[in-house]
A and B are shown apart, each in its own frame.
Chain A
Amino acid sequence: MFRKLTLILLLLFLLALIGCGKPATRPILINGAGATFPYPLYSKWFDEYAKIRPEIRFNYQSIGSGAGIRQIIERTVDFGATDAPMTDEQLQRAKAEILHIPTVLGAVVVTYNIPELTKPLQLTPETLSAIFLGHLTRWNDSRLVKTNPGVALPDKEITIVRRSDGSGTTFVFTDYLSSISSEWQTKVGKGTAVNWPSGIGAKGNEGVAGQVKQIPYSIGYVELAYAIQSKLGYAAIQNKDGKFVLPTLESITEAAAATAATIPPDLRTSIINPPGEKAYPIAAYTYILVYKEQDDPMKGKAIAEFLWWAFHRGEKYAADLLYAPLPQNVVKLTEAKIKAISYQGKPLL
């Protein structure tokens, strides 16, 4: 009996030992963690980059924007990633300068499940905020009928689906609602998790998409890719110039281009509700967070080189995966940031 137990234990130990056995040439492993939204694109980038630079491995784990910010502050990862830029208070806690490097743009879309509808719903900022505040409760409300001429809206109650967990998506969406509705701003406000006036909670983008798909006459908000992959309808939103704009890669990039001139030097900015006829109003940058002053010259150089590659070679993978590329003028600003990554005061690139 003991012999067999020892055998089992020995086997388990052996397995653990295999774990200790380091490969002959240990690649540099660079760890990053954060936002869930860009995970598919980042994993594509790191995979492609590993093909041309096999000695460097980028390992990115999607643990959420908030966790990503926390990990980079604690220096448990080599780079962080977030959908919402860090707050001043968070930057202060980091003790050293953190650079915000925007990589791509994402959009939050208002998705719905109205089986009768054949063309996209058109929503004005007023109707959208009224729905989520609980003031507009039926699909055939006169305010909705007015902005959707010629569309037979059903006489059904609207079911609201919202996120139950903290999320960058919620931040962007509530940031938008706060900017267009003073009632939302005072009653609910913006944040990664807010006190919703009404609605069913669901975890994650996939949770909201799943609920909307299952509940007829429901409405929710998700990242664009989730709405498209789940084959859900999504609304055209009236932008600042009064045009109804559907979220497309072009209209999202347009939103960034429209605000590029006023972008602050640290690139921490909101591109909610920008001017411009073609701009989609609920878009945001997603960022990679790195320390300006790197501890390890090898790792720092690898990160800087990778980011440079991502902007010049990697961007072409973005569109296929439904991520909107940065407008040219923002790419220029970002390049300067990448060049600022340094070791002992000397730029690494």
Chain B
Amino acid sequence: MKQQLYLWRKIKDKGMSQLIGLSALMMVGILFLILGYIFIKGVSALNWDFFTQLPKPVGEAGGGMANAIVGSFILLGLACSFSLPLGILAGIYLSEFGRNQLGTTVRFAADLLTGLPSIVVGIFIYTLIVLPMKGFSAIAGGIALGIIMVPVITRTTEEMMKIIPLTIREAALALGIREWRTILSVVLPAALPGIITGIMLAIARAAGETAPLLFTALGNRFWHSGLDQPIAALPLQIFTYAISPYEDWHAQAWAGALVLIILVLGLSIATRFLTRGRYYFMR
């Protein structure tokens, strides 16, 4: 009897751990399935021209998305230029001074903002910037992407700074270091790898967004001609090509998707590389 119970427990244990393991494997499998599918579909249309040429009209072979790739970088640069300072500073406030009514409100607002459908951000910026400026522009697109990034950056900055042990702050304060200096030179650097991961997550999310760009950056068939003019972006170009009836445009859309994924992947691998092995106590 006792032996039997033992066996049954053993079976349950083995079965459950295998189920969990299988689930984990499946999750990774889905990722590789998507990556592999996009790779197979996209790699055939990928060549040097894709990175150096402007899009070609239907019926002409070749052509690329060079303008969209550069455009995406410019838009992300613009988005970062205001969302990084804003997000990080707001995150510092929440973590260090946010134990009050205002902090709770800001935290709640940031969570709401994270869940905001990105098309709503696009329409908001359209009414706020595009209409008064009488035109679509790279600036409007950059701000729309920035708004999507801010709450993610704010919340990760807060969480990352909160997990820095209190003892470290106390050690700094005990040495007579002022509070602002402690935050800036002790807590922030320790939390930086986590914050940077959060930033990368935000950039990766913004890089793939189409909806907020439709009515802000609009898209451009040519090289950008100034930040006050419409600008091309990879997701927009992929979208336009994917809904067309033409095979060669579909192939270009797949290649665009592949490039987008590689860019995002490359970006996060690069940051991991830059920030690795720094703060041991985080492990």
Contact = CB atoms under 8 A, between A and B. Distances in A.
Interface of A: 1-2, 4-5, 8-9, 12-16, 18-20, 22-23, 26-27, 29, 31, 33, 36, 39-40, 43-44, 46-48, 50, 57-63, 67, 74-77, 204-206, 209, 223, 225-226, 228-230, 320-321
A12 B81 contact: yes
Contacts of B282: none
Interface of B: 55-60, 70, 73-74, 76-78, 80-81, 84, 130-131, 134-136, 138, 142, 189, 192, 196, 214-215, 218-227, 229-231, 236, 240, 242-247, 271, 274-275, 278
Contact of B78 (A19, A47, A50, A76): A19
27 contacts: A5-B196, A13-B81, A16-B74, A16-B77, A18-B70, A18-B74, A19-B78, A23-B225, A33-B218, A39-B244, A40-B244, A47-B57, A48-B57, A59-B218, A59-B220, A59-B222, A61-B236, A62-B240, A74-B131, A76-B135, A77-B135, A77-B136, A205-B245, A206-B243, A206-B244, A223-B245, A321-B58
B230 A22 contact: no
Given A27-B225, A76-B131, A61 B240 contact: yes
A31 B57 contact: no
B215 A20 contact: no
Contacts, number: 135
Given A1-B275, A321-B58, 6 more contacts: A16-B142, A23-B223, A29-B220, A43-B55, A47-B57, A320-B59
A19 B138 contact: yes
Provide the main secondary structure of the chain A interface: helix
Contacts of B223: 23
Please provide the 3 A-B residue pairs with the shortest distance between their CB atoms, ordered closest to farther: A16-B77, A19-B74, A44-B57
A229 B77 contact: no
A19 B215 CA distance: 20
Nearest to B250: A206
A222 to B, nearest CB: 9
Nearest to B226: A22
B243 A205 contact: yes
Contact of A75 (B134, B221, B225, B245): B134
A14 B80 CA distance: 12
Nearest to B267: A8
Contacts of B135: 31, 76-77
B82 to A, nearest CB: 11
B245 A57 contact: no
Contact of A1 (B142, B230, B242, B278): B278
Contacts of A18: 70, 74
Contacts of B84: 9
A46 B221 contact: yes
Given A19-B138, A29-B225, A31-B136, A4 B274 contact: yes
Contacts of B70: 18
B221 A59 contact: yes
B200 to A, nearest CB: 10
Nearest to A4: B274
